[in-house]
Structure 1
Amino acid sequence: MDEEAKRREEVININSPAPLNDDGNKDGELKKKITIKISNGDEELDKGTIAKPVAVGESESVHEVKQKTKRVATLDAFRGLTIVLMILVDDAGGAYPGIDHSPWNGCTLADFVMPFFLFIVGVAIALALKRIHKIKDAVKKIILRTMKLFFWGILLQGGYSHAPDDLVYGVNMKFIRWCGILQRIALVYCVVALIETFTTKLRPTTLASGQLSIFTAYKWQWFGGFVAFLIYMITTFTLYVPDWSFVDHFNADEPKKYTVICGMRGHLGPACNAVGYVDRQVWGVNHLYSQPVWRRLKACTFSSPRDGPFRYDAPNWCRAPFEPEGLLSSISAILSGTIGIHYGHVLIHFKGHSERLKQWVSMGFVLLIIAIILHFTDAIPLNKQLYSLSYVFFTAGAAGIIFSGFYILIDIWGLHTPFLFLEWIGMNAMLVFVMAAQGIFAAFVNGWYYENPRNSLVHWIEKHVFVNVWHSERVGTLLYVIFAEITFWGVVAGVLHKLGIYWKL
């Protein structure tokens, strides 16, 4: 194990044979305090900070002397992997439908992105709130960050930004989209973090013996997840969905009104599910996502699984809007954050590598098995658009297994160099998300063109350096995404890391 791994081992693996308090340290003794800020670029371990254990809500009376800090590499690498997957599937998914979002039931590579984000947010919450000693300060920080996430979500995905191809901006408020990726993350973060904050004093100071002690110690977090599960399941299977109408403003020269016949309960198909009905009632049908992935179903287009023109006999709902990050499905998504925060609690309380891995891997496989049974028995199919229970379990289980693998490779075996690329991106995740995944930087470059907007540097590089060289639009597109986007932003993130520059929320 190299020196970097030894130093990280000293920080993360603080062995303590005595009973653990709620911070994972010996009662009555001085401790090495883990301090991790939730925002990108600030998840660090204070290697040399010495302080008495202080519960949330109590004042801190011991002077702290901060020394060199070390980041949690596994968190950064996992977050970086998620950002890379997002760029890959968003920009290469059109050329390779197999990695794009599943049109309805099923789970593809793209369908792992959102739950992976929520999982790592949960892990970070468990660690980050340990350093905030007053409930009032913690709540203020949580609410402020939630508002920032909502703001950026609406700005980037609400319709105001038309990046990267359209060199215009602005949104008709009649059609503004209120939901999106960052808005869902904001909701899950707010709920999970507030439960974590307000239940600090309700937790036992020591973990009891037994495999389930970690679950009972954080029963209020699981209770919150269970309430979200009940709300989602009861609404999904009991809410009556009547017939509904919409006006198609985007798929024809002239707006045209369509009606979808429903009049049923518990339907899990595209047309008459409760998830869509709740969003139509809360947000209004004009404020939902106008290009849902179900347009690629065989019932809608002969080009399936690719996007294409509608069939002449396509049902009316094929043209309808649908919100993949809607209200009811976001309530279900709280479970993803709850499972993530459990992994963070394990990291805090169990100091041995084998103990942590035993908890993480066993839970990951249990979740995967339950999900597979639910899906293949047709009880509850995997469905990202509905954020079904089987989808939550399957993606959370996969996240847990991958997170454990990263932990073994990086924090146990000390293989940091192969994952520096992902760590750099993970440390500046917000920057790469906005500039690369949302196409803001590409839009800026496209704004400088010669005679025609297609004659810009971005389009020239994609066409002449990649597509024409390989004589294949599919291969050229994939290589462009890998090298001109992912690799480029990985290098930029690495340079910014060396300069100590991070985009924080």
Structure 2
Amino acid sequence: MGVLQRIAIAYAIVAFFEVRSSANSYMADANESFSGILRIYHCQCAAVFVLIAIYLGLLYGIYVPDWQFELLDGNKSQMLEINCNIRGSMSPGCNAVGYVDRLILGISHLYKRSAYRRTQECSVNSPLSGPLPINAPAWCEAPFDPEGLLSTIPAIVTCFIGAHYGHVLLHMKGPKRQLWHWTASGFILMFLGLLLNAAGMPLNKQLYTVSYMFVTTGIVALAFTATFVLVDIYKWRSSTAFFKWVGMHSLMIYALLASDLLPILLQGFYWRRPDNNLIQILLRGLGF
């Protein structure tokens, strides 16, 4: 799948539950408590727990056998093998997310451009794309779908959590109560995500792990709170003009970044030498 298909699936499922809950929301009190909001949207709460349970059960329960793929290099081709024989692995070549996609969609329908091409194991120019290092693992060139079937499940949960933030704005009156709820939710979700990361579930965007989902939704809650304070309370609308522009063109920005067009464009601006470009200056400033 692609990112747009994932967004469409997640939005469609959440919209279905929103429609089913609309009758209860119209009859709700205009100043509901947190428990009242959960009561109104109890079906969505149940769906969140069920989806998380399904994802974790499949992620850790599916057995991933050894597998092979054909690597085409011009007129030559070779078969590369990845040894797995494992269950519950989060490694790039042996995770259940990739196995489910290979099993259902078929390996020929997955992205041939490796999702891990910028990692240290797969690029001499990491964190940028580059030639493969010597003795790079086979999974560096293996097909993988970063918007796969299994990893779409926590993406749906992310949309449910985002809808809940909107429910607070709709049913919980008074900016102080709303801000308290969003702030508390953000810190709690971030804490849960970091706790899961410390317990062994990495913050992995490619697998869309539950820890990654919790941390990102927590950050969103805090960012939304800050934006709400600036725009709706202090009326500093001009200070958020840049972020408004980013939000209006988010898909275009994503496409530029995902296709490496933006990094290539930024590398065209350099001081005296081509290798002294904006990207390299930024990376040196970050300590890479």
**Please, what TM-score do these two structures have when normalized by structure 1?**
0.50
Alpha-carbon distance between aligned partners in 1 of 2:82 and 2:167, rounded to the nearest angstrom: 46
| Superposed displacement of residue 476, structure 1 | 6.8
Mean Cα deviation higher: 336-345 or 310-319: 310-319
Match of 1:419 among 240, 245, 267: 240
In structure 2, relative to structure 1, the CA distance for the partners of 1:285 and 1:364 (3 Å cut) is same
For residue 269 of structure 1, report the CA deviation from its aligned partner: 0.9
Q: Displacement of 1:240 after TM fit?
A: 1.3
Determine which of 78, 81, 86 is the counterpart of 1:259.
Answer: 81
Report matched runs for 1:193-208 at 5 Å: 193-202=15-24, 205-207=27-29
Aligned residue runs from structure 1 range 14-413, under 5 A: 179-202=1-24, 205-207=27-29, 210-249=33-72, 254-378=76-200, 380-413=201-234
Aligned-pair distance for 1:469? 6.5
Q: 1:314 deviation in Å?
A: 2.1
Work out the CA distance in 2 between the residues paired with 1:306 and 1:438.
16
Taking structure 2 as the reference length, the TM-score comes to: 0.85
Residue 470 of structure 1: CA displacement? 8.1
1:294 shift after superposition: 2.1
Post-superposition CA distance 1:164-198 (Å, at most 9, x none) = xxxxxxxxxxxxxxx12111111110111111112
Question: Once the 2 structures are TM-superposed, how far is the Cα of residue 283 of structure 1 from its aligned partner?
Answer: 1.6
Tell me: CA distance 1:227–1:296, structure 2 relative to 1, closer, same or farther (3 Å): same
Provide closer, same or farther for how the CA distance between residues 303 and 416 of structure 1 changes in structure 2, counting only shifts above 3 A: closer
Contact kept, 8 Å, 2:60 with 2:89, in 1: the verdict is: yes
Cα distance in 1 for partners of 2:34, 2:147 equals 35
8 Å CA contact 1:468–1:476 kept in 2: the answer is: no
Counterpart Cα distance in 2 of 1:471 and 1:242 = 46
2-structure distance, mates of 1:475, 1:318: 27
* Shift in Å, 1:399: 0.4
CA distance in 2, matches of 1:296, 1:462: 17
Bigger relative contact order (CA 8 A; separation at least 6): 1
Give the match for residue 95 of structure 1.
none
The amino acid across from 1:329 in the alignment is S
Q: How many residues align?
A: 274
Q: Which residue of 2 aligns with 1:433?
A: 251
Secondary structure, aligned partner of 2:205: coil
Gaps of 5+ in 2: 257-263, 283-288
Is the contact made by 1:204 and 1:217 (CA closer than 8 Å) also made in structure 2?
Answer: no
Q: Is the 8 A contact 1:195 1:224 kept in 2?
A: no
After superposition, give the CA deviation of every residue in 1:334-361 in whole Å (9 maximum; x if it has no partner).
Answer: 1110110000000101221101111111
Cα 1:374–1:191, aligned 2, differ >3 Å: closer, same or farther? same
1:474 aligns with 2:274: no
Q: Secondary structure, in 3 states, of the residue corresponding to 2:151?
A: helix
- Aligned residue number for residue 285 of structure 2: none
Offset of residue 298 of structure 1? 3.5
The one-letter amino acid of 1:224's match is A
For residue 392 of structure 1, give the secondary structure of its aligned residue in structure 2. helix
Kindly report the root-mean-square deviation, in angstroms, between the aligned alpha carbons of the 2 structures. Answer: 2.7
Relative to structure 1, is the Cα distance of residues 338 and 209 closer, same or farther in structure 2, using a 3 angstrom cutoff? closer
Alpha-carbon distance, 1:389 to partner: 0.5
Deviation for aligned residue 1:312:
3.3
- The one-letter amino acid of 1:467's match is Y
Alignment deviations for residues 380-426 of structure 1 (CA, whole Å, 9 cap, x no partner): 11110110000000000000000100000011000011222332453
Answer yes or no: is the 8 Å Cα contact 2:267–2:274 preserved in 1: no
Mapped contact 1:470–1:476 kept (Cα < 8 A)? no
Name the CA distance, whole Å, in 2 between partners of 1:373 and 1:386: 18
What is the rounded CA distance, in whole Å, between the counterparts of 2:121 and 2:184 in structure 1?
Answer: 40
Give CA-to-partner distance per residue, 1:99-118, whole Å, 9 cap, x none. Answer: xxxxxxxxxxxxxxxxxxxx
Alpha-carbon offset, residue 329 of structure 1? 0.2
